[in-house]
Homo-oligomer: A and B are copies of this chain.
Amino acid sequence: MSEPKKLHLTAFMRPVSLHTGAWRYPGSYADANFNLAHLKSFIQKLEAAKFDAFFMADHLAVLNMPVEALKRSHTVTSFEPFTLLAALSAVTEKIGLAATASTTYDEPYHIARRFASLDHLSNGRAAWNIVTTGNPESAKNFGLDEHVEHSERYKRAREFYDVVTGLWDSFADDAFPRDVESGIYLDPEKMHILNHKGKELKVRGPLNIARPVQGWPVIVQAGQSEPGRQLAAETAEVVFCSPKDLKAAKELYADIKGRVTAAGRDPKHLKILPAALIIIGDTVEDAKAKRLVLDSRVHYDSAIASLSIALGTDASGFDPDGPLPDDIPETNASKTSQAGVIRLAKEENLTVKQLAQRYGGYSGLAFVGTPESIADDFGIWLAEEAADGFTVVLPFLPQGLDDVTQRLVPELQRRGLFRSEYEGTTLREHLGLPRPKNQFFS
């Protein structure tokens, strides 16, 4: 008899929230960007709720935005992920720690070393969210005038992955006898010099760090583009995606799992965890009302640009308090996106201002309802192979996090959809992923 399938849950975080209006939501911690005490309380609550991992979003620049948006944004500055997650590793015991790191603007030796170190410090809880960093602002912080072209970034990413995983395998697990009597600390036969010489990278090795506790830290990927999906199929163990609904999620799930199989891997060894904003209320209407309050905290001046982009036309002349006009000009740029806006405006009966605030706040996949209704949805997504779990996006902190950990998680646990205790100690064990064999030593 096989164990019934369970969800995996990670929290995808910015210290204040990914939602741009969250810092103004009543009770939110507007100062969380540089307040370790808040972040410590968040991760400890997520660990008490048995989340698989805590996942810190990141950028390598202050992103370019109009000054009206910039001055209202809490997402511009915060802790650097490696130092933050290392600090949080010292105040937690079981929860996984996922850091974003770029293959375009960093060196594989540094990346391999930092993740290996975080994995040792945390006793096997590190994960690497591989990103190729598309925004041009980052390029300018690293000596370039323009961002590196998309296919070039993915070629380097693939080779970068080979180098990093090769460096993690620099030492056999039993390379360090530390025999005081004979004076043998290290067995040189169990040290591998990588000597990588590829098209993009040249790295000798060995890494100056013992093999990570997990063998390799868990590999996470977010790309949904064609090369992104292929890179994920070949390398990722967790995929973090943004399908717009159940149907799109099932298609994406089937496509990625098929690619994993085609790449000769076991599809169970890649977990697909769509990112989803979770807003919980006493009733569905109550949750929807919370969302409207949250969205209303996005300033119209910074929101209207987002609506214009989604519509493919300038929306700044529309009446903010009226409905979306019927005569939106056709657009070649984003027909699907425009149709989505029109559908949403009708479904939720939103004004132009409310629509703008939705697009300026967080417009991705969302579950807005009661613990029961969301648990119903999660159960359906799991059963219908749309997801292996969710990358939870918290609307506002700490209340939105407390709602998830104190109301949704217990409901999922009652239904047997989520663990009530950690069964293992490493993130690989939480996710049901095997420990990779060393490529160079059996």
- Residues in A lying within 8 Å of B, measured CB to CB: 23-24, 30-31, 33-34, 36, 40, 59-62, 67, 70-74, 76-80, 82-84, 86-91, 105-107, 109-110, 113-114, 116-118, 120-121, 137, 140-144, 171, 176, 178, 180, 183-188, 191, 201-210, 297, 299
Contact = CB atoms under 8 A, between A and B. Distances in A.
Nearest to A33: B210
Contact of A205 (B74, B76, B141, B176): B141
A271 to B, nearest CB: 25
Contact of A187 (B71, B83, B188): B71
B114 A77 contact: no
A183 B191 CA distance: 56
A118 B80 CA distance: 8
Secondary structure at the A interface, as helix, strand, loop or mixed, is loop
B83 A203 contact: no
A210 B34 contact: yes
A107 B142 contact: yes
Contacts of A36: 90, 120-121
Contact of A62 (B24, B30, B206): B206
Nearest to A88: B90
B185 A141 contact: no
A143 B186 CA distance: 26
Contact of A184 (B71, B79, B204): B71
Number of copies: 2
Contacts of A184: 71-72
B23 A185 contact: yes
B208 A83 contact: no
B82 A186 contact: no
Given A87-B87, A144-B202, 16 more contacts: A23-B185, A33-B210, A61-B208, A62-B208, A70-B188, A71-B187, A77-B176, A82-B82, A82-B114, A83-B86, A84-B86, A87-B89, A88-B90, A107-B143, A141-B203, A142-B203
Contacts of A140: 203-204
A109 B141 contact: yes
Contacts of A105: 107
B186 A71 contact: yes
Contacts of A206: 62
Which of A80, A120, A191, A209 has the most CB atoms of chain B within a 10 A radius of its CB? A80
20 contacts: A23-B178, A23-B180, A62-B206, A62-B208, A72-B184, A78-B209, A82-B83, A82-B114, A83-B86, A83-B121, A84-B86, A86-B87, A90-B90, A90-B91, A141-B203, A141-B204, A142-B203, A143-B201, A144-B202, A183-B299
Given A185-B23, A208-B62, A203 B143 contact: yes
A44 to B, nearest CB: 12
Contacts of A187: 71
B143 A210 contact: no
A294 to B, nearest CB: 13
A83 B141 contact: no
A142 B109 contact: yes
A70 to B, nearest CB: 6
Of the listed residues A106, A118, A120, A184, the one surrounded by the most CB atoms of chain B closer than 10 A to its CB is A120
Contact of A186 (B34, B70, B202): B70
A183 B82 CA distance: 30
B73 A109 contact: no
Contact of A83 (B40, B78, B118, B191): B118
B107 A71 contact: no
A295 to B, nearest CB: 14
Nearest to A35: B120
A83 B117 contact: yes
B188 A71 contact: yes
